[in-house]
Amino acid sequence: MSIKESRLLKDKKGTRIVVRKEDESPFMLKESQWIPDSRSLNCSNCQLRFTTIRRRHHCRRCGHCFCDSCCRSYPLIRMAFVDAVLQCYKCIEKSKYELDLFKFSFPCLEAGADLYVENYDCIFFAKLTASQRTVILTDPQNSLHTETIQVTAIQSFRETCVSDQCSLLDLLAVEVEFEGCAVLGRRALTLVAVSGHQRFISQSWLRNLLKVLKLLQSQT
């Protein structure tokens, strides 16, 4: 997530980082509407009735109400919360997986890797931008030969195993911008891990791209 011209917003839900709309990562989640207290007489998990002793707490992710025993604080990075916030245990499982992606997958994608692009019979350097909005493919032999792929424009994709290792990713329907010109329309791109000493980095990059594309599709 870009922090360009960001600011902190603090309210009863917690402290969040807010950025301009054009800088916002497409992997961020929209906040759920909180269920009104008047409609939440019982814990959404254990079904015990709320009392003056058994207080209700809203899960910051799903917006439902839970008792002390059915929720706890945990990082919620996809909603840009600065500190850990109260979440139900079902939502925490999702947040745990996403925290690993933001700690490991996104840094790997932003560092970049060499990939063989089958469409051009050429090796490109692939990198996710810091805003997490765009994948840039650059020909190391010709820096003017680039392709810009908006991650939200990738409509479908599939992974194929080559030589017993998952090292090929087909972007089946993607809008591609070529050399800074207008979008050409939907077409397929095939990205393959390179061989040699860069193979592990290349395969890791593709696997992580697959993970974040699945995350983008889920949006929950």
CATH number for the domain harbouring residue 206: 2.30.29.160
Are 88 and 140 members of one domain? Answer: no
Q: How many CB atoms lie within 10 A of CB 161?
A: 9
- The CATH number linked to 80 is 3.30.40.10
Alpha carbons 154 and 130: distance in angstroms, whole number? 18
Q: How many CB atoms lie within 10 A of CB 32?
A: 16
Find the domain containing 62 and state its range.
7-104
Are 132 and 35 members of one domain? Answer: no
Are 64 and 135 members of one domain? Answer: no
If you average pLDDT over residues 106-112, what whole number do you get? Answer: 96
Alpha carbons 140 and 87: distance in angstroms, whole number? 45
Domain count, the chain: 2
Are 26 and 216 contacting, i.e. CB atoms less than 8 angstroms apart? yes
Tokens, residue 70: 């059915």
pLDDT value for 36: 94
Alpha carbons 88 and 72: distance in angstroms, whole number? 7
Are 152 and 172 members of one domain? Answer: yes
Mean confidence (pLDDT) of the chain: 83
Are 98 and 80 contacting, i.e. CB atoms less than 8 angstroms apart? no
Q: Select the highest-mean-pLDDT range: 13-22, 49-58, 170-179, 207-216.
A: 49-58
Tokens, residue 123: 């090796």
More confident residue, 49 or 166: 49
In a domain? residue 2: no
pLDDT value for 35: 94
In a domain? residue 127: yes
Alpha carbons 172 and 141: distance in angstroms, whole number? 26
Per-residue pLDDT band for 168 (boundaries 50, 70, 90) equals low
More confident residue, 220 or 98: 98
Are 149 and 156 contacting, i.e. CB atoms less than 8 angstroms apart? no
In a domain? residue 1: no
Q: Is 218 exposed, middle or buried (0-12, 13-18, 19+ CB in 10 A)?
A: exposed
In a domain? residue 42: yes
Task: Answer yes or no: pTM beyond 0.85.
Answer: no
pLDDT value for 180: 41
